[in-house]
DNA sequence: GTTAAAATTGAACAATCGTTCAAATATCTT
DNA sequence: AAGATATTTGAACGATTGTTCAATTTTAAC
């Protein structure tokens, strides 16, 4: 089997992402990271530069996978709005048990970091905006399909959706099983403003 | 001037709260704390037991002040719903510039911590539930005043409001000035489900 | 004013932090 | 197979972490 450098790097970043996602930037130690990704400090620093460098790459990878998951939802469903709903259910409900952390890694990062780590903070913000733009694209498509009234502003609906997701995921972590997540996700799409 | 032990303790906890609120639990060091509250390690540990003990007291104080602020809004306004709106604007908008951190300290804590700090995590969750219950009380009062339809379930509306606030505050930190916060808060109350 | 009790101090502790780098190992080139 | 290049290793670094505690100072009691 031929060596594929990119593949290895992706695997490593995946594992790092899961650890960062679970514990956050500050609570994750390099030694913890070394164990999980099975690399020695020298290699890590030669490859990623610093703890921040690896975290930044983790953020980018997390975002890329989010966008991919959304596109996948689109391909698996018949309508753009259905795709959005499926995606939201996936990240709000399934993630509660399956993922390293019920929270969105990007929102968690925006919540955790200050200007002391401006680069990382800005990267997380940028990623959240990328996802919101993806939502907007699907909403525009939904408008073209007649699923959403054309007098609505797609950007505003995307923003609304983003806010609902962020709020819901914090709520889910707060209330655990008690929260009727499925119903709450349904409500987002059956009531205002969709 | 007579010494008032409780007052001193409150002042200290206030300062600690602001630091924890700004930097989060893990990124706040005891030495950082020592400088801000102007106490030496021995005194801190004699008084609060540990870094976690002080954080827990900070969480409780933050929550108590939140409840007080909400009651204050109620006394300053004519209707329960107006009080809620004022409170939301206060914490979502004013806090962006004035407070140590635009985020809600409780939501930020729920986002940051894992079971490694179960006590603190549970305390933050409990506090969020307390605030939600306060929302619910005001909504019930609003129903009695005829501001909110009585066929709505107050608990659900309170939950909805909690989700909007959490989502909005993350959104505000992500988008900074670009976010039309005032309009977004208005939307919460003018549209569904109020 | 003297003594007992309580509170405060700050040096010091072991543990862990992120990071470095000379040495060892693996890979590529010819 | 031999030499050049790139990668990996892991011990070690100084800094910082949360915490302790004997010594000191302040407060309270009589």
Per residue in A42-51, pLDDT tens? 999 999 999 9
CA dist A106 and A169 (Å) reads 12
- Would you place residue A4 in the very low, low, confident or very high pLDDT band (cuts 50, 70, 90)? very low
In this predicted structure, what is the pLDDT of residue B191?
Answer: 76
CA B50 remoteness from chain centre: 23
In this predicted structure, what is the pLDDT of residue A6?
Answer: 58
pLDDT, mean of residues A33-40:
97
Check CB contact of B111 with chain A, cutoff 8 Å: yes
Which residue has 């992706």 as its token pair? A10
Residues of chain A contacting residue B167, judged by C-beta atoms under 8 Å apart: 162-168, 170
Torsion of CA B37, A115, A10, A129, to 10 degrees: 130
Contact criterion met (CB below 8 Å) for A186 and A168: no
Q: Answer for A47: CB within 7 Å of strand D.
A: yes
In this predicted structure, what is the pLDDT of residue A152?
Answer: 95
Query: What is the SS3 assignment for A146?
Result: coil
CB nearest to B192's CB, from A114, A170, A191: A191
Contact criterion met (CB below 8 Å) for B163 and A164: yes
Q: Answer for A8: CB within 7 Å of strand C.
A: no
Q: What percent of chain A has pLDDT over 90?
A: 92
CA dist A140 and A152 (Å) reads 10
pLDDT, mean of residues B39-64:
97
Query: What is the SS3 assignment for B146?
Result: coil
Count of structural domains within chain A: 1
Whichever domain contains A78, its CATH number is 1.10.357.10
Residue B3 has pLDDT above 50, yes or no: no
In this predicted structure, what is the pLDDT of residue A3?
Answer: 41
| pLDDT (tens digit per residue) in B132-181 | 999 999 999 999 999 999 999 999 999 999 999 999 999 999 999 999 99
Check CB contact of A152 with chain B, cutoff 8 Å: no
| pLDDT (tens digit per residue) in A102-159 | 999 999 999 999 999 999 999 999 999 999 999 999 999 999 999 999 999 999 999 9
CB nearest to A112's CB, from B24, B125, B129: B24
Give the largest Cα separation in chain A, rounded: 57
- Which residues contact residue A135 at a Cβ distance below 8 angstroms, ignoring those fewer than 6 apart? A70, A84, A157, A158, A161, A162
In this predicted structure, what is the pLDDT of residue A8?
Answer: 85
Give the end-to-end CA distance of chain A in Å, rounded to a whole number. Answer: 50
CA dist B32 and B8 (Å) reads 19
- Helices B181-190/B154-175 angle, 10° precision: 170
In this predicted structure, what is the pLDDT of residue A157?
Answer: 96
Q: Answer for A41: CB within 7 Å of strand D.
A: yes
In this predicted structure, what is the pLDDT of residue B182?
Answer: 95
Instruction: Report how many Cβ contacts below 8 Å link chain A to chain B.
Output: 95
Structural domain of B184: 5-190
CA dist B125 and A38 (Å) reads 35
| pLDDT (tens digit per residue) in B54-93 | 999 999 999 999 999 999 999 999 999 999 999 999 999 9
CA dist A128 and A67 (Å) reads 11
More confident residue, B4 or B158: B158
More confident residue, A98 or B65: B65
User: In chain B, which residues from 60 to 89 place their CB closer than 7 Å to nucleic acid strand C?
Assistant: none
CA dist B126 and A178 (Å) reads 13
In this predicted structure, what is the pLDDT of residue B32?
Answer: 97
Check CB contact of B103 with chain A, cutoff 8 Å: yes
Residue A5 has pLDDT above 90, yes or no: no
- Helices B105-112/A105-112 angle, 10° precision: 120
């Amino acid at each position: 089997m031929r060596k594929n450098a990119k593949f290895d790097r992706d695997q490593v970043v995946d594992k790092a992402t899961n650890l960062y996602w679970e514990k956050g930037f500050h609570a994750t130690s390099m030694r913890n990271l070394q164990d999980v990704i099975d690399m020695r400090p020298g290699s890590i620093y030669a490859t990623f530069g610093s703890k921040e460098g690896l975290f930044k790459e983790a953020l980018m990878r997390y975002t890329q996978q989010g966008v991919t998951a959304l596109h996948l939802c689109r391909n698996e469903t018949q309508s753009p709005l259905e795709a959005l709903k499926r995606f939201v259910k996936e990240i709000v409900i399934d993630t509660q048990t399956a993922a390293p952390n019920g929270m969105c890694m990007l929102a968690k990062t925006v919540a955790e970091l200050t200007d002391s780590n401006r680069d990382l903070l800005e990267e997380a913000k940028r990623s959240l905006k990328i996802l919101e733009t993806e939502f907007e694209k699907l909403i525009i498509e939904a408008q073209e399909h007649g699923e959403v009234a054309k007098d609505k502003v797609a950007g505003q609906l995307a923003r609304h959706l983003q806010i609902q997701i962020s709020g819901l995921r914090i709520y889910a972590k707060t209330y655990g099983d008690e929260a009727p997540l499925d119903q709450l996700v349904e409500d987002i799409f059956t009531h205002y403003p969709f």
